[in-house]
């Protein structure tokens, strides 16, 4: 016997979960710098903040890009990937994604001593 949806309860997804999904999506976008040590950010990659409560959210992503990155193209890809992953995993609708590029990280070079 199946109960009505209202009788089964509700599912609430914490903003920290939405933030983690957004950060992972941004970090795995080609062109995003996965480790931003060169900028003094430690091992941290993208940083996200989520605004909104419930089924509609706005996301702000701050991240460094790998040099030489096409900034506009990577920002567009980050926006699309964050939107897709947050909507697919949480079921929430993403109203908008602001992307803030905090710097460009040069490629690591092998050092010879």
Is residue 5, in this structure, part of any structural domain at all? Answer: no
Contacts of 77 (CB under 8 A, 6+ apart): 29, 30, 31
Is residue 113, in this structure, part of any structural domain at all? Answer: no
Structural domain count of the chain: 1
Using CB atoms within 10 A of its CB, is residue 66 exposed (0-12), middle (13-18) or buried (19+)? Answer: middle
At 72, phi and psi to the nearest 5?
-60, -45
Domain range spanning residue 98?
A: 23-105
Q: Is the pTM of this model over 0.75?
A: yes
Is residue 61, in this structure, part of any structural domain at all? Answer: yes
Is residue 18, in this structure, part of any structural domain at all? Answer: no
Is residue 112, in this structure, part of any structural domain at all? Answer: no
Chain segment 73-89, per-residue pLDDT in tens: 999 999 999 999 999 99
- The CATH number linked to 42 is 3.30.70.1350
Chain segment 56-78, per-residue pLDDT in tens: 999 999 999 999 989 999 999 99
Is residue 86, in this structure, part of any structural domain at all? Answer: yes
Is residue 97, in this structure, part of any structural domain at all? Answer: yes
């Amino acid at each position: 016997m199946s109960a009505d949806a209202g009788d089964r309860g509700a599912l609430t997804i914490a903003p920290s979960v939405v933030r983690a999904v957004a950060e992972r999506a941004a970090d795995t976008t080609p062109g995003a710098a996965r480790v931003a040590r060169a900028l003094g950010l430690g091992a941290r990659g993208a940083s996200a903040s989520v605004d909104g409560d419930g089924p509609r959210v706005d996301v702000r992503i701050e991240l460094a890009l790998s040099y030489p990155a096409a900034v506009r193209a990577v920002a567009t890809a980050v926006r699309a990937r964050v939107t897709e992953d947050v909507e697919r995993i949480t079921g929430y609708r993403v109203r908008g994604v602001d992307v803030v590029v905090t710097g460009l990280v040069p490629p690591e070079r092998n050092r010879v001593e």
